[in-house]
């Protein structure tokens, strides 16, 4: 929940200029602005390889769900992606597996690609429950659904490393990503090619080391995405990764 309309549009415009100037049109990029600014930013990137996504969506098409925005309405607005299961939705809004499963299914039914987020808290990590939590979050939401894998990506958000002063090491990130990739393979997903992004306080200072890990395919960028220079620096780090 950041930026006013003018600031959000200025940021998106600057990102568009940088991507065009540097010839980064082939770099898979999705921007997730607040609901209010979606149409304007979708229009800005019309015909562009940079996609626009929503930070959340409600299952279904229409109904008496005051304050919600449906997956159908998002698709109608030109949005191509939607975040599901972000750690803040889980923490502040109590979203658990049943509603997240509905969201994934509804989003794909309306033609939206899904970036599904998973991750453990500090207490869960200290208790040695990281893999148990990740397995539960993946299986309870995805198993048995007719997932269109070409329109799906996974993000690992170690909640304990977001705004806490704790940092995930590249080795810790790799361990979690490798576990998730193997888990997806067991479920019949094309795990070798499925993007698994890292989303725990990613910034220019740590991006290069994290992206160098074999199972870290990119980033779900938080606060560093609110400034074009830091967002650009993270993109550069990804492009320079062998």
Look at residue 3 in the predicted model and tell me its pLDDT. 94
The whole-angstrom separation of Cα 15 and Cα 223 is 15
Could you confirm whether 2 is annotated as catalytic? no
Architecture of domain 5-239: Alpha-Beta Barrel (3.20)
The whole-angstrom separation of Cα 161 and Cα 224 is 14
Phi, psi dihedral angles at 219 (to 5 degrees): -135, 145
pLDDT digit string (tens) for the chain, length 242 residues: 999 999 999 999 999 999 999 999 889 999 999 999 999 999 999 988 899 999 999 998 999 999 999 999 999 999 999 999 999 999 999 999 999 999 999 999 999 999 999 999 999 999 999 999 999 999 999 999 999 999 999 999 999 998 777 789 999 999 999 999 999 999 999 999 999 999 988 999 999 999 999 999 999 999 999 999 999 999 999 999 88
Could you confirm whether 157 is annotated as catalytic? yes
Distance of CA 5 to the CA centre of its chain: 22
Catalytic option among 95, 120, 157, 177: 157
From the list 9, 27, 6, the residue with the least C-alpha distance to 239 is 27
Binding residues: 163, 201, 222-223
CB atoms within 10 A of CB 242: 4
What length is written for the chain? 242
Q: Return the domain boundaries, the chain.
A: 5-239
Catalytic option among 2, 14, 68, 86: 86
Q: Residue written as tokens 């998106």? A: 12
Query: Do residues 148 and 115 make contact, with C-beta atoms less than 8 angstroms apart?
Result: no
pTM: 0.96
């Amino acid at each position: 929940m950041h930026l006013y309309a003018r600031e959000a549009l200025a940021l998106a415009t600057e990102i568009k200029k940088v991507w065009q100037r540097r010839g980064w049109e082939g770099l898979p990029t999705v921007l997730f602005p607040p609901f209010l600014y979606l149409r304007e930013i979708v229009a800005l990137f019309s015909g562009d390889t940079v996609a626009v996504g929503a930070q959340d969506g409600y299952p279904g098409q229409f109904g008496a769900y005051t304050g919600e925005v449906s997956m159908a309405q998002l698709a109608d607005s030109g949005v191509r992606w939607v975040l599901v299961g972000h750690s803040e939705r889980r923490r502040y809004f109590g979203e658990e597996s049943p509603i997240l499963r509905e969201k994934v299914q509804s989003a794909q039914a309306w033609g939206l690609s899904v970036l599904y987020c998973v991750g453990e808290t500090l207490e869960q990590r200290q208790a040695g429950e990281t893999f148990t939590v990740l397995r539960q979050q993946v299986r309870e939401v995805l198993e048995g659904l007719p997932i269109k894998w070409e329109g799906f990506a996974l993000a690992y958000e170690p909640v304990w490393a977001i705004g806490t002063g704790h940092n995930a090491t590249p080795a810790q990130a790799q361990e979690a990503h490798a576990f998730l990739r193997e888990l997806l393979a067991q479920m019949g997903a094309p795990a070798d090619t499925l993007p698994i992004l890292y989303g725990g306080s990613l910034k220019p200072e740590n991006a290069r080391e994290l992206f160098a890990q074999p199972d870290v395919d990119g980033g779900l960028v938080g606060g560093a995405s609110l400034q074009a220079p830091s967002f650009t620096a993270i993109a550069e780090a990804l492009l320079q990764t062998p």
